Amino acid sequence: MRSNYQKLPVVLLWHMHQPQYRDALTGRYVLPWTYLHAIKDYTDMAAHMEANPAARAVVNFTPVLLEQLEEIAHRVGEHLRTGSPLPDPVLALLGPDAVPAEPAERLDLLRACLRAQRKQMIERFGPYLELATLAEPLATLERVSYASDQLIHDLAVWYHLAWLGETVRRSDTFVSSLTQQGRAFTDGQRRELLSLIGQLVDSIVPRYRKLSERGQCELSVTPYGHPIVPLLLDFQAARDAVPNMPLPQHLSYPGGAERAQWHIRESLRVFKRAFGSDPGGCWPSEGAISRSTLELLDQAGFKWAATSANVLQGALARHDPKAARDSGSYNRPYRLPGGSMVEFFRDDTLSDLIGFTYASWHGDDAAHNLVNELAHLARQYSDSEPRIHDAAAAPAETSAGETAGETSGKTAGETESPAGAARPSQGRARHAVLIALDGENAWEHYPFNGYYFLRALYSLLAAHPLLELTTLSDCVARGIEPAPLQAVVAGSWVHGTLATWMGDPAKNRAWDLLCEAKIAFDGVMAAGTLDAAQRTAVEHQLALCESSDWFWWFGDYNPAEAVSQFDSLYRRQLVVLYRLLGLPPPDSLAQPISVGRGSPEHGGVMRRAYAR
């Protein structure tokens, strides 16, 4: 068996993000996805690592998600103590109040309780399927009055049971008793389920903090509101990968560089408040980078940033087409000349296998297949390079007066080959495989929320003689050799472009509305009429408006319901911004931006690295 320093480093990065779903006008959550993913996916992902001390991963939290988790846990706790209103109307179905009698509101709640993955989350449970079959014909304004309170309450219980993590389902006796009972749930049982949900949401941050403290989990962060930083900095970045892309009417986002820096600073503040330490790395929102974005992150002190191999491919193709075709150019870190931060580029193929393909496989078979793919890479790379050893790896020799990293513009540890390309110095490894994807959206398509796949994956990786499960900060600290990143083509983990957030007429209109709001913001801030608390409030509200998520959903290729929901929420966020500024919202915010007509894979919440 090979010793650890001979193994190929493998890093799993799970990105946890939900945009701000709270309607700032009412204080209620418009969509339930934050707490639902907390009780299912964030809970299960922590439990898998807790169950296997050899498991390691990078877990990336967005600050806007951390704040929502804190608020929801607090408000559920307050409700249980004092009877104060619950933050979400679907969650409130577990509370003591009667189901609303108004037909439209009643219909919204009935439909919400059916919004679960059909095969894995409804058909899996006989009683839930039976209730859903009864409810579906009643899900119209004309018929919803025939749906009794008991039917809707029972549906709400099953909806939340189906959204519980598999590790909770297998360990909690109360959940087992509800599952066996099947129907006719009492007020007391609904309250106890609500209490469990509150406890699970409240436990997320402490559990990951503990995993970090014991060395199993590296925690990283994304700029505060999940903005597309390259577009905040320069709209022209969208044309880096798509030269003829239509742009918004505004030439640029006003004060974009200052706003990008604000998002980065605020992310560090929120992260440290939650986890008690500074993050070593950053997953930029949607893996969206440009040269200027990487330079900002480097200046902020991050040791690493990560994105997608399709972005690297575009960069290499521009600077060195031969390198772009060389498989050895991938699954290795890079660094901008003169920079300190290391850039990692995920393996898109392996990441998309988890995100899309393996959901239809048996979990153990999928895990073995992925590990076999990684072992093949380990053998391939072992034929061409020395393996990483430890942090004391000898640096490359330098000429008198030079220090590592300052040798005639070369990155530390590089020498010059006859052809002028950098090559690794003796004793330094070059390759590490990063697998990165959403940590929440894939699992509802897997049987048992991916339980068997994840359990087997961690076990197989931890025990494999050719592979070492590790973290990105460990890869940086232990001396994996970065290659020079001579060119950067602005792009993201979706097709290597920024077209998911700009170019479509609806997306561009949304940007123009945001630009107009930012101009109004700048005017009020310059006038000095707001006190410190008011300035802080409007800065945070602007950050919510700058989130990437609104632009993701605009476009007729997306589902009608999702487009309508996110369109409305985006415009309401802008309305609140104007009101906080003391200005009347423009009439344009009363008009829908986009209409959805599509039926994309996984409902549009995830997209493959390459277009199919």
Pairing mode of beta strands 414-416, 422-424: antiparallel
Mean pLDDT of 337-353: 98
What percent of the chain has pLDDT above 70? 92
Nearest to 521 by CA among 549, 543, 548: 543
- Section 403-415 average pLDDT: 31
Which uninterrupted H or E stretch holds 434? strand 433-438
Task: Burial-class residue 592 by CB neighbours within 10 Å (0-12, 13-18, 19+).
Answer: exposed
Torsion sign over Cα 94, 95, 96, 101: negative
The boundaries of the domain holding residue 334 are: 222-390+427-484
Average pLDDT over residues 211-222: 98
Token readout for 3 is 């010793």
Same domain? 201 vs 257: no
Cα distance between residue 596 and residue 554, in whole Å? 8
| 448 shares its domain with 300 | yes
| Residue 360 shares a structural domain with residue 473 | yes
Note whether 181 and 242 are same-domain residues. Answer: no
**pLDDT at residue 385, rounded to an integer:** 61
List pLDDT tens digits, range 255-277: 999 999 999 999 999 999 999 99
Q: Is residue 133 one of the residues assigned to a domain?
A: yes
Q: What are phi and psi of 6, to 5 degrees?
A: -95, -5
Q: Are 53 and 5 in contact (CB under 8 A)?
A: no
**pLDDT exceeds cutoff 60 at 416:** no
200 lies in the same domain as 299: no
Burial class of residue 74, CB neighbours in 10 A (0-12, 13-18, 19+): middle
Number of CB atoms found within 10 A of residue 408's CB: 9
| Cα–Cα dist 434/331, whole Å | 7
Whether residues 568 and 455 fall in one domain: no
- Length of the chain in terms of residues written: 612
- What integer pLDDT is reported at residue 24 of this predicted model? 81
Q: What whole-number distance in Å separates Cα of residue 350 and Cα of residue 376?
A: 12
**Residue 217 placed within a domain:** no
The predicted structure's pLDDT at residue 185: 98
The pLDDT score that the predictor gives to residue 424 is 36
| 214-244 exposure pattern, b = at least 16 Cβ within 10 A, e = fewer | eebbbbbbbbbbbbbbbbbbbbebbbbbbee
Q: What is the mean pLDDT of residues 470-480?
A: 95
Co-location of 92 and 192 in the same domain: yes
Mean predicted confidence (pLDDT) in 587-606: 95
Residues 81 and 146 reside in one and the same domain? yes
> Distance between CA atoms of 484 and 315, rounded to whole angstroms?
11
Element (H, E) at 418: none
Q: Is 530 exposed, middle or buried (0-12, 13-18, 19+ CB in 10 A)?
A: middle
- On whether residue 56 sits in a domain, the answer given is no
User: Alpha-carbon distance 361 to 366, whole Å?
Assistant: 6
Residue 188 burial class via C-beta count within 10 angstroms: exposed 0-12, middle 13-18, buried 19 and up: exposed
Output the domain CATH number for residue 298: 3.20.110.10
Question: Is residue 415's pLDDT more than 60?
Answer: no
Using CA atoms, how far apart are residues 193 and 64, in angstroms rounded to an integer?
26
Report the chain's mean pLDDT, rounded to a whole number: 92
Q: What's the structural domain count of the chain?
A: 3
Residues 479 and 564 in one domain: no
Residues 318 and 449 both lie in one domain: yes
According to DSSP, residue 116 is labeled S
Domain boundary among the residues 211, 233, 261 is at 211
Assigned domain for 120 exists: yes
Quick one: pLDDT at residue 612? 74
- Residue 435 in domain: yes
Residue 5 has pLDDT above 60, yes or no: no
Q: What's the pLDDT at 6?
A: 75
Residue 127's Cβ-count burial label (10 Å; 0-12, 13-18, 19+) is middle
* Whether 128 and 252 share a structural domain: no
Reply yes or no on whether the pLDDT at 384 is more than 90.
Answer: no
List pLDDT tens digits, range 111-121: 999 999 999 99
- Rg of the chain over CA atoms, in angstroms? 25
Considering the domain boundaries, does residue 306 fall inside one? yes
| Whether residue 375 sits in one domain with residue 230 | yes
Output helix, strand, coil percentages for the chain, rounded to the nearest 5: 55, 10, 40
Does a structural domain hold residue 479? yes
Kindly tell me the burial class for residue 360, based on how many C-beta atoms sit within 10 Å of its own C-beta (0-12, 13-18, 19 or more): exposed
Distances in Å between the Cα of 159 and the Cα atoms of 20, 35, 177, 345, 584 are 22, 13, 16, 37, 40
Amino acid type, 134: L
406 assigned to some structural domain: no
480, 391 in Cβ contact below 8 A?
Answer: no
Pairwise CA distance, residues 545 & 580, whole Å: 13
pLDDT higher at 204 or 610 = 204
